[in-house]
Structure 1
Amino acid sequence: MKLRYPALALMISVGLFSCKGKDDKQAQAPQATPVSIDSARIAKAIYYDPYQATIVALKTVEIRSQIQGFITGIFFKEGSVVKQGQPLYEIDKRKYLDALQQQKANLSSAIANQVKAQKDADRYSFLLKNDAVARQTYDQAIAQLQTNKSQVAVARAAVASAQTDLSYATIRAPFTGRIGISQVKLGAQITPGSTLLNTLSSENPIAADIIVNESDINRFYGFQKQGSDSTFRLQLSDGTKYLKPGKIFAIDRGVNNQTGSIKVRVQFPNDQDILKDGMSAVLNVLNTVSGDRVQIPYKAITEQMGEFFVFVAKDTTVTKEDSINTVKKDTAAAKAGGIQTGKYMIAKQQKVTIGPRVNADVVVLSGLKAGQRIVTAGFQRLKDGGKITLGQPQGQGAPGQGGGQSQGGGQGQTGKQQGK
């Protein structure tokens, strides 16, 4: 009986040691990180680039007088719409009427002198044919006739000039538009070319001016050749959306070499008089990469030194041979679990080029294909090539930030290698 108990105790102690060894190995075996996974998908991505805009009238003129005098009449309501050719101001025209009458009288006198000279020339011509007058007398008559004709032409030009000055006494609207508040009152004396009377601007159509970087010039030239009703959308300063479509009216002749930018003018209909000259607005311009694009949740993006990455979930199978090779190369793996085989998922870090955000998603311009599975949560402590499993992530950070911050040291080298 004494010999049987030590043998039983030895067997129990060997069994306990064996179980403890297995438990230690299982405890030391690397565990899969629980993550959330979503798939990259093709979706409609229509988005606009905002530009600060200033509403400008296509036609604006400062009204000034071309003659000197005193204002004797104002024929419009300030701030109203005036028609082309409508009288706006009248300058005292009495002296211009007198000047016109004087020039007309001078014209009549010049015409009378021309008639007399013509008769003299005809008379001397008849006498010359009969040798009844000297040739010199005839030549003098012809010269006098030409002089009188020139004086008539001068008198006619003086009459036309006086008529023009008289017409300047009534200032008319050069085009249909809205006139502003008058800068002069009745009886004010004005100086030609310098005294500002008023400002007139057109309203329909109207335009929005934006400043565009020179790198985007070709994009706007393309819009000028072929655009759609959805290319330009205007948003007013109070947030109201202007529903009328716009089109490019003009692109400035050249780039400003000081700023590297160019002015673009977009025309809009304004039949309801909503847009006013000088208003501030935001012009939303359709992005050329809009359309069916690969999109993923923005929270799946991590940023490292200005580059963007995602973790792509991939299925992998480890054979016995692969596991043996891993154990031979990796002492830690040998200590942790030894030979392990089977199917599981790993997360591979992949560099992507992203575009604009669309609500909670972001457009991926390159680096991903539709259908690829990406890790959207739980990647804060995940390493490139690490095991993952579907489950509730632990300690997930803020979307789009946690991954980039917490794994800056662990993944920085990976990011550099992929960037190369």
Structure 2
Amino acid sequence: MYRLSKISFVLLLSIGFVSCQSGNGKSQDKIILADIPVLELQPKSIEVPKTYVCDLQAVQFVEVRAKVEGFVAKIYVDEGQFVKKGQSLFQLTSNEFNEMVNSANAKLMQARAEAKSTALEVERLKILVDKKIISSSELELARAKNSVSQSAILEAESLLKNAQTGLSYTTIKAPFDGIVDRIPYKTGSLVTAGDLLTNITDISEVFAYYKVTENEYLKYMRDRLEEVSESDENGDEVVSLILSDGQTYPYVGKLETMEADFEKGTGSIAFRVRFPNPDQLIKHGASGKVQMDNMLDDIFLIPQKSTFEIQDYSYVYILDKNNIVRVRSFVPLQRYGVYYISDSFEPGDRIIFEGIQQLKDGMEIVPMAVSEKEAYDTLVNAF
């Protein structure tokens, strides 16, 4: 068998002429190219990595806002600092709320004293009624006054709780373990209810959100129903992450869930992948690409050098059983290294591997079979 590296030389020398007899008795020469490399196609099943642009978000991200109005009296933390759940972050001025608590306490004490007084009055009148000294109507009136005083206690207790709650809002604490974001207000600043004081992010883990089309979603769900793909012991599909600098993240993620509805404008649906982040390399709001292995069955690998394009359509030269070259169009599904992936062929189809510049539709050739390994080595060595 000839070496593929000598094909260009062979193509120039291997042109033969066959004498044919035309209908009018005159001879006509037909060009036959010899030793043209031909690759026989066979279906394959391969795993093709597919990437999707994703947004990376902290597993917990909370905006810390003021619940009451006041001046910033103290700031206990700094930007970028790690804090524990319940740790104090800010202290707002609390004089007004202290006074409200004191006032509510006083009202509660007064209500309890009045309730005690009316209770004693009820006991005193009950004795007199039992001795038939006074009528029972006075006792009923005393009992009504006691009920009113008990209600006053409940009201005072509610006022005290509200005052204490308002006072507690002047000390802002971390809702969970996390990292403090930017602090826009400094000591002495006036803040009102709802003003953003900072953000707390927990990046011990991160979520990657990416969107797929409806067709990709349907294929994924059917594959999940029909067979078990590569997964861990919990059945979660393993996903890789490529960061914005092109480096592959050292930890793999797990595909957890998806949105409930398709977006009306784009027709896409978002998937969520959870990645561990023990080194805190990934920050909230970063970007990257998730990469998943997509199994393709019964597809054909078409060398890119064996194809040509005309007006955005892809073509190859097919060799029929009589060794006649025919032009065939095909639809590439995607690129795969030095190949195109396509499902537009049949097992045993023979395509011209090299030398397509010398060919035309309808030409007859003498084929030289090329193995898949020889074709691959030639394609790789060309780069």
TM-score (norm 1): 0.72
Higher helix share: 1
1:248 partnered with 2:255: yes
Question: 1:176 Cα shift?
Answer: 1.5
Question: 1:172 Cα shift?
Answer: 0.6
1:390 partnered with 2:367: yes
For 2:40 and 2:149, locate their aligned partners in 1 and report how far apart those are by CA, in whole Å.
Answer: 98
Alignment match, 1:287: 294
For 1:191 and 1:68, locate their aligned partners in 2 and report how far apart those are by CA, in whole Å.
Answer: 4
Say which of 319, 332, 355 aligns to 2:333: 355
For 1:296 and 1:94, locate their aligned partners in 2 and report how far apart those are by CA, in whole Å.
Answer: 79
1:121 partnered with 2:133: no
For 2:318 and 2:220, locate their aligned partners in 1 and report how far apart those are by CA, in whole Å.
Answer: 37
Alignment match, 2:33: 33
Q: Structure 1 residues 243, 368: closer, same or farther in 2, change over 3 A?
A: farther
Structure 1 unaligned spans of 5+:
1-20, 317-344, 392-420
8 A Cα contact 1:58 1:205, kept in partner? yes
Deviations 1:25-47 (A, max 9, x none): 99723232342212224556322
Structure 2 unaligned spans of 5+:
1-18, 232-236, 369-383
1:212 partnered with 2:212: yes
Which amino acid is 2:281 matched to? I
For 2:184 and 2:221, locate their aligned partners in 1 and report how far apart those are by CA, in whole Å.
Answer: 41
Alignment match, 1:410: none
8 A Cα contact 2:205 2:275, kept in partner? yes
For 1:72 and 1:385, locate their aligned partners in 2 and report how far apart those are by CA, in whole Å.
Answer: 89
For 1:150 and 1:224, locate their aligned partners in 2 and report how far apart those are by CA, in whole Å.
Answer: 62
Alignment match, 1:147: 148
For 2:129 and 2:70, locate their aligned partners in 1 and report how far apart those are by CA, in whole Å.
Answer: 56
For 1:282 and 1:103, locate their aligned partners in 2 and report how far apart those are by CA, in whole Å.
Answer: 57
Deviations 1:169-213 (A, max 9, x none): 1101111111112111112121111x2211112212112222333
Which amino acid is 1:155 matched to? A
Question: 1:78 Cα shift?
Answer: 1.2
For 2:59 and 2:301, locate their aligned partners in 1 and report how far apart those are by CA, in whole Å.
Answer: 41
Deviations 1:131-163 (A, max 9, x none): 322232122111111101100111111111122
Q: Structure 1 residues 135, 390: closer, same or farther in 2, change over 3 A?
A: same
8 A Cα contact 1:350 1:367, kept in partner? no
Q: Structure 1 residues 183, 222: closer, same or farther in 2, change over 3 A?
A: farther
Question: 1:302 Cα shift?
Answer: 4.3
1:375 partnered with 2:352: yes
Which amino acid is 2:271 matched to? V
Q: CA RMSD in A?
A: 3.1
For 2:223 and 2:240, locate their aligned partners in 1 and report how far apart those are by CA, in whole Å.
Answer: 13
Counterpart secondary structure, 1:60: strand
For 1:187-198, list aligned pairs within 5 A. 187-193=188-194, 195-198=195-198
Alignment match, 1:259: 266
**Structure with max Cα Rg:** 1
Counterpart secondary structure, 2:57: strand
Q: Structure 1 residues 43, 220: closer, same or farther in 2, change over 3 A?
A: closer
For 2:125 and 2:317, locate their aligned partners in 1 and report how far apart those are by CA, in whole Å.
Answer: 114
Q: Structure 1 residues 109, 239: closer, same or farther in 2, change over 3 A?
A: same
For 1:303-318, list aligned pairs within 5 A. 303=309, 308-316=314-322
8 A Cα contact 1:37 1:390, kept in partner? yes
Higher strand share: 2
Question: 1:297 Cα shift?
Answer: 1.5
Question: 1:373 Cα shift?
Answer: 2.8
For 1:53-72, list aligned pairs within 5 A. 53-72=54-73
Alignment match, 1:332: none
8 A Cα contact 1:54 1:281, kept in partner? yes
8 A Cα contact 2:20 2:29, kept in partner? no
Question: 1:241 Cα shift?
Answer: 0.9
Which amino acid is 2:28 matched to? Q
Q: Structure 1 residues 221, 22: closer, same or farther in 2, change over 3 A?
A: closer
The percent identity for this pair of structures is 26
Question: 1:128 Cα shift?
Answer: 2.6
* 199-208 or 148-157, which deviates more: 199-208
Counterpart secondary structure, 2:142: helix
Alignment match, 2:372: none
Which amino acid is 2:250 matched to? L
Question: 1:352 Cα shift?
Answer: 4.3
Alignment match, 1:275: 282
